[in-house]
Structure 1
């Protein structure tokens, strides 16, 4: 197929030949909205592994608003012999925000830091993260940037853009996968997801109905993620300081989207955390009522509707797994480490 031709729906599953060679296509100065949602980097430690761990902990004190704890995980990861869970103390329990992998010669005697969306949501100083990578001469092996569109957009719109050729990269047509989970007519609708490109080729675009995935069948919330890998490319450290530039530069269609974004799009991590928390809490409350509503009523009868006594008898301090990300992003409470 010649450059500039749009893909045909009859051949929607066809993949692109080769992979694009650069992380960004252009230079978009817009500062609207995108965030870093995943970060993994490796580096060659100077000195002993224990010294390197202490050094990382000192760096992380500048990244996060709360102390971090390195806890041995008793398992390897990514070809490394051992790993540590990086955890914070929040709302009554330890929450993992990153993993450090180390040890063994198969990974070139390097160390690896893998920070999920929870950890990225907790970061308060991305300049400190950038400086850390500069100091360590780190190599980023994966970085995800994401943009949240709270209303006014659909996954189908982006799918139509794909078939008009608007996601072509230098004449290459990225592969396409489209999924729909659950029953669109019921509460068990978990939304549509569109994948363009492949992680194995170094760049994958994922567009999905985030609100529906979390459990709100009526939500219009769409999330767009670009997952950059380091195959045949170098991912600049600058991506953590200017995620919107790299997000917009991934595809021409996204650059045009960023430039035209309405102001009502929620972009701050606190607003996104509040939206996520609200959806998940309502969903969990639905399950709680369906499974244990009658039991709770009988317990209330038993304690003569002394609701403080009822609360004390059934609550467990902590954060459900589905609420950990929003709890971290929305502001950590009781940040001190347990005694």
Structure 2
């Protein structure tokens, strides 16, 4: 890589100290087993949480040392992408305090991340959203590459989905936050609650704050448009701005979510996988779509059926249908995979 190319790569702020989800030397016990950064609980298909957002910062010198001469080679080395996610051209466009940047798009054309370039101290910042994380097949590849490239985590979101809403209750957790149950020693962390006031659009609890450690528990199914959905998500956002976030969080995000607060160690149980979460997103979004159609266009379709009889669907296909898919499915799936998931989920409920 040329000197000019090297100068394109940007920096995030340096860190000081070490971030740990539990106190030094302490293990959180759950179900008789130890949980913490040394635990590998949840690997090999038995994860209790998923990585749903990631920002890495690495020195530009590593790119030359390990022959990552361009962005596509870099994201291949970091995430194993083979066309699932590709980088756009480097532009003179500010992103996250970087004067130069490039966007990352997946093969469905969705924006799934950014790379910040041209900043301070000759480092590179790579960020992928939850929609980008879904394309990562093996986080151990990312872990190994991050170690080799001397990367550090600037932010990671570790998320657990309680699909049936049996363990996580955002309103009960609000009461526990008010009672000081999230205090891990010292002053209780700040918390705030955003209520949907009974409208069925979903409430959210925040504990902690951005820049260090922030827990967010929210009624995800309701926020996706299905008021009857019991689905609740808990995610902890760990920031490496002032302290270090261990790379091991890539391998076992569930341990770091459980270790973030003792309350989470009590409640985070069961398997949570990317595929299961995607299927749940399709299920909820498809049901919400049908509910919207029933409310908004059901009468109009009824008029077409009365007017055209058995041939009303032919008219609808010719004059009403158009290509594409609703925005509610953005970042989940598209094309035949989306059609397959929707068919399976709606047929299951119809049965």
| Offset at residue 279 of structure 1 (A) | 1.6
Supply the RMSD in Å over aligned alpha carbons.
3.1
Deviations 1:112-160 (A, max 9, x none): 1111111112211111111221222112110111111122131122223
Segments of structure 1 that go 5 or more residues without pairing to the other structure are 1-19, 334-339
Give the one of 262, 266, 274 matched to 1:252.
262
Moved more, 212-221 or 313-322: 313-322
Aligned to 1:203: 213
| Offset at residue 313 of structure 1 (A) | 4.6
Distance, in Å, in 2 between the alignment partners of 1:109 and 1:235 is 21
SS in 1 for 2:141: helix
Give the one of 137, 149, 154 matched to 2:150.
137
Give the one of 31, 41, 44 matched to 2:56.
41
Cα distance change of structure 1 residues 100 and 115 upon mapping to structure 2, 3 Å threshold: same
Distance, in Å, in 2 between the alignment partners of 1:137 and 1:280 is 40
Distance, in Å, in 1 between the alignment partners of 2:112 and 2:325 is 14
Aligned to 1:281: 286
Choose between structure 1 and 2 for higher RCO, CA contacts under 8 A separated by at least 6 residues: 1
| Paired residues for 1:1-339 under 5 Å | 22-25=19-22, 26-27=26-27, 28=35, 29=39, 30-31=41-42, 32-46=47-61, 51-59=69-77, 62-63=80-81, 66-72=83-89, 74=91, 75-90=93-108, 94-103=109-118, 105=119, 107-150=120-163, 151-153=165-167, 154-181=169-196, 183-184=197-198, 188-200=199-211, 202-258=212-268, 261=269, 265=270, 267-293=272-298, 296=301, 301=307, 305=311, 307=313, 310-311=316-317, 313-327=319-333
SS in 2 for 1:165: coil
Task: Tell me if the contact between 1:303 and 1:310 (Cα under 8 Å) persists in the aligned partners.
Answer: no
Q: TM-score with structure 1 length normalisation?
A: 0.76
Cα distance change of structure 1 residues 237 and 331 upon mapping to structure 2, 3 Å threshold: farther
Cα distance change of structure 1 residues 219 and 61 upon mapping to structure 2, 3 Å threshold: closer
Task: Tell me if the contact between 2:110 and 2:331 (Cα under 8 Å) persists in the aligned partners.
Answer: no
Distance, in Å, in 1 between the alignment partners of 2:113 and 2:74 is 12
Q: TM-score with structure 2 length normalisation?
A: 0.74
Moved more, 21-30 or 235-244: 21-30
Task: Tell me if the contact between 1:215 and 1:283 (Cα under 8 Å) persists in the aligned partners.
Answer: yes
Q: How many residues align?
A: 298
Segments of structure 2 that go 5 or more residues without pairing to the other structure are 1-16, 28-34, 340-351
Aligned to 1:3: none
| Offset at residue 327 of structure 1 (A) | 1.5
Cα distance change of structure 1 residues 332 and 97 upon mapping to structure 2, 3 Å threshold: farther
